[in-house]
A and B are shown apart, each in its own frame.
Chain A
């Protein structure tokens, strides 16, 4: 953590040194933090023009809400679907290949379709995050269920566990940590998907902050948006890591 902070500090120092000379053309495109950060305070933490302006907190909140809602729904649905699929060999034979075909589709490819179906709303972004995470997680859940050591299941059945209780008390806890780890890894994809959706179709959120900067030819706003995206993404990743360590720490 300290090493990482030190690296960021060094990067910012280099950036500031390069941007120190106003004659440097690069400064116009990549203004250093000392140039773009004051934008935030000058505009009273609001971005945009007139009545269209929204506070930066609101943008961060909206984006995070979309990502968390999409990921939570995808996580729960993947666990349930993965378990149902692994109950039957037929389901595995018929459903898994279909999921395998849909999984590699980039979440951004669903944006036009989602806009038509859900319109410009939170549902569109949640749907895109869901599509970016659900299929991979379902395939992973099925794979993880197969990886559970047979003796763990034999022991549970031996202790007179009925099928439902064995699933609830052994199979589910056994697969949760690895599926959650995959969810954490997929968060980056979900994060990028929702930002892309905000840049292309939706009018609010962190993605739209960057697009506002582009429309106003304001490099300071663009870089401010990019920095907030990076810091928020990092913070969420750390939060997910914390959840993983606190609630899903075991290995089967």
Chain B
């Protein structure tokens, strides 16, 4: 487990807000006053209810959307639009159906005009890592849902981004497959030095994967809780501490947590709350 305190900040946002203009020129505030700091090499999960603005937050962090106010800093510099250093994986795998697996994975190099001879070994290496070397000649429609998502992950990480954003990548998969891919993602993260930010509405997934867990409340989206979970018991979904935290976060999401105001994480669950200066 990486020591979060000792790591430099890679991505941060200050007073970030986002609003959209509706059809009747009404402003709908989706996110308000978001302050967040993400350290290099950490795994951050953003938990929130569907439609609560967590995907919008992810797109703002990746520079895919401009903010209405506030700013996003990437390595200390304001983020102006998307950069290849910040990769993104969507709920839908978004593989190109006319390309075989190895072409999809090597697409990041090809689109930059690099010769296949230069990157082929990297593609094969990463396919080996994600366990899909044998399927390199297959097309996306010939793969299962889990394999497609692994190809999408391989395509994003082969270009070695500093930060990888994952927008509910496993939500369309069945429970068994989702669990296998969660383990796979954790193993991959431990192996690489990539900062991962995963958005999910699944409390169990958020605890299981995240080192830093950020809860976004809705209408408008605000950060309502931030916890640091670095102990091993939070990698075991049947551990009593895991279940207590899960129950607590569910009550936070539903807005029924009574302990939240009193620093529940620290006092009751013995989990440190993230401190801000």
Nearest 5 CB-CB pairs, A to B?
A: A161-B111, A159-B108, A250-B97, A160-B84, A250-B98
Max chain B C-beta neighbours (<10 A), residue from A154, A170, A173, A251 = A154
Contact, CB under 8 Å: A173 / B96: yes
Report A153-168 CB contacts with B as 1/0, cut-off 8 Å: 0111111110001100
Q: How large is the interface on A (under 10, 10 to 19, 20 to 34, 35 or more residues)?
A: 10 to 19
B112 contacts A by Cβ under 8 Å = yes
Q: Which residue on chain A has the smallest CB distance to residue B97? A: A250
Contact, CB under 8 Å: A159 / B107: yes
Chain B residues contacting A157 (CB-CB under 8 Å) are: 82
Known contacts A165-B111, A165-B113, A166-B111, A158 near B82 by CB under 8 Å? yes
Chain B residues contacting A152 (CB-CB under 8 Å) are: 94, 96
> What's the dominant secondary structure at chain B's contact region?
loop
Contact, CB under 8 Å: A159 / B98: no
Provide 24 A-B residue pairs closer than 8 Å at the C-beta atoms, listed in order of the A residue: A149-B94, A151-B90, A152-B94, A154-B64, A154-B88, A155-B94, A155-B155, A156-B107, A156-B111, A158-B62, A158-B84, A159-B84, A159-B159, A160-B111, A160-B159, A165-B111, A165-B113, A166-B111, A173-B96, A173-B98, A250-B98, A250-B141, A251-B97, A252-B97
CA–CA, A50 and B110, complex, Å: 62
Q: Which residue on chain A has the smallest CB distance to residue B88? A: A158
Chain A residues within CB distance 8 Å of chain B: 149, 151-152, 154-161, 165-166, 169-170, 173, 250-252
Q: How many residue pairs at the A-B interface have CB separations less than 8 Å?
A: 54
B64 to chain A minimum Cβ distance, whole angstroms, is 6
A65 to chain B minimum Cβ distance, whole angstroms, is 30
> What's the dominant secondary structure at chain A's contact region?
helix
Chain B residues contacting A161 (CB-CB under 8 Å) are: 111-112
B41 contacts A by Cβ under 8 Å = no
